[in-house]
Amino acid sequence: MHTIPFNKPHLTGKEAHYMYDAVYTGKLSGNGKYTHKCQQWFENTFGFGKCLLTTSCTDALEMAAILIGIMPGDEVILPSYTFVSTANAFVLRGAKLVFADSRKDRPGIDEASIEALITPNTKAIVPVHYAGVACDMDVIMDIASRYGLFVVEDAAQAIDSYYIGKDGSKRALGSIGHLAAFSFHETKNIISGEGGMLAVNDMQFADRAEIIWEKGTNRSSFFRGEVDKYGWVDVGSSFLPSEVIAAFLWAQLENIQEIQQRRISIWSKYVERLSGWSKANNIALPFLPEFATNNAHMLYLVCTDLEQRTALLNRLKDNGILAVFHYISLHSSPFYEQKHDGRELHETKRYSECLLRLPMYYDLTEEEQDKIINVLINEK
């Protein structure tokens, strides 16, 4: 039986060409032509302040934690229903994690629960735009400014997704918080195998971000002719990807519109064809608040309970379709359970037990998608 995988990385066709170019022009390390092309494209297209490509979103989050000066004892508010990297970046600097619950209508952070979690030690809020669906950024930025906190957007899944503010303004996710982190891991919409990016929107961080990125040296300003020698000026690490990776990414960016159109059409067909079945079975389809646009990163279902989800996963698997669940909540993880303050997070638990993701990728064929839908809606 032909198996339908959960994800298949999409190639636009130009990746090898640009990688060949990068290899044979002899500039292999980072911060070269393709890195600049990608970074400028992001800044111009989405209105991010300053972009720096990184080797992963994990790296970009670690840079953010260094930049906002996380120290042992600082508290960071983040959802429990997220990937470990959202948490690790801050734990590595000694932060205490304060987990917020998810919303009832979608897995994103419950904005209304944030304020009660703030203490004098709180330093930052880290909203995660789950499935590329915006958190209510006006609300979060307002809380942050009233309490003097930083906002780091985990925008790993949120490329080409927007937040429409109360004043009608449409802003790209990742352009609103002081800092934002993106991922180009092969499971995301736009990919480079492994890869990521830090978007710096609060320009007080711009110069230091570049230094941290380049191992704590002012190498970048040296190459721009701003200083006559370069040296060790701050902490830092090796966060920048090689030109070969940036060249791959450039081929993806050139085709972002086509990639997004295809994904949105697959996403919409799922929602259209599954709506009657999902209602009849008390299964929720993705909910989009009116302030969020759709980047079709993910098609998830929220089942009534664990038994229903297990049965669906098995039925799909028996038919050669690989659907998967998602995060095991971080507040009850082996690593953090003892450190967590003990609050129960009901919605987080529910998404851990009931959320299921369907295959959702550019090269999913019409026949394959029809098969997935039919296996779901025709009970036997």
Ligand X SMILES: *Cc1c(COP(=O)(O)O)cnc(C)c1O
What residues make contact with ligand X under the rule CB under 6 A? 56-58, 82-83, 85-86, 128, 154, 156-157, 183, 185, 196
Q: How far is the CB of 355 from ligand X (least distance, A)?
A: 13
Q: How far is the CB of 189 from ligand X (least distance, A)?
A: 11
Q: How far is the CB of 157 from ligand X (least distance, A)?
A: 5
Residue whose CB is less far from ligand X, 82 or 295: 82
Q: How far is the CB of 286 from ligand X (least distance, A)?
A: 15
Q: Are 349 and 337 in contact (CB under 8 A)?
A: no
Residue whose CB is less far from ligand X, 63 or 128: 128
- Single-letter amino acid, residue 163: Y
Distance CA 252, CA 191 (A): 7
Distance CA 179, CA 152 (A): 5
Tokens (6 digits) for 339? 């450190």
Residue whose CB is less far from ligand X, 10 or 219: 10
Residue 122, number of CB atoms within 10 A of its CB: 20
Residue whose CB is less far from ligand X, 241 or 278: 241
Q: What is the arrangement of strands in the sheet containing 150-154, beginning at the earlier edge strand?
A: 50-54, 196-200, 179-183, 150-154, 122-125, 75-79, 96-100
Q: How far is the CB of 197 from ligand X (least distance, A)?
A: 9
- Burial code (b: 16+ CB inside 10 Å, e: under 16) for 274-287 equals beeebeebebbbbe
Task: Give the CA distances from residue 10 to residues 7, 14, 165, 335, in Å, rounded to whole numbers and listed in that order.
Answer: 9, 11, 33, 34
Q: Are 184 and 251 in contact (CB under 8 A)?
A: no
Q: How far is the CB of 247 from ligand X (least distance, A)?
A: 18
Report the candidate in 132, 380, 120 with the shortest Cα–Cα distance to residue 267.
132
Q: Are 153 and 182 in contact (CB under 8 A)?
A: no
Q: How far is the CB of 222 from ligand X (least distance, A)?
A: 29
Distance CA 105, CA 89 (A): 28
Residue whose CB is less far from ligand X, 362 or 376: 362
Q: How far is the CB of 51 from ligand X (least distance, A)?
A: 15
Distance CA 329, CA 237 (A): 29
Distance CA 105, CA 109 (A): 11
Q: How far is the CB of 129 from ligand X (least distance, A)?
A: 8
Residue whose CB is less far from ligand X, 113 or 192: 192
Q: Are 234 and 270 in contact (CB under 8 A)?
A: no
Tokens (6 digits) for 334? 């082996």
Residue whose CB is less far from ligand X, 356 or 375: 356
Residue whose CB is less far from ligand X, 198 or 251: 198
Tokens (6 digits) for 121? 């030690």
Distance CA 240, CA 246 (A): 10
The interaxial angle of helices 33-46 and 243-253, nearest 10 deg, is 40
Tokens (6 digits) for 362? 């550019």
> Which backbone phi and psi does 350 adopt, to 5 degrees?
-65, -45
Residue whose CB is less far from ligand X, 298 or 303: 298
Q: How far is the CB of 158 from ligand X (least distance, A)?
A: 9
Residue whose CB is less far from ligand X, 77 or 128: 128
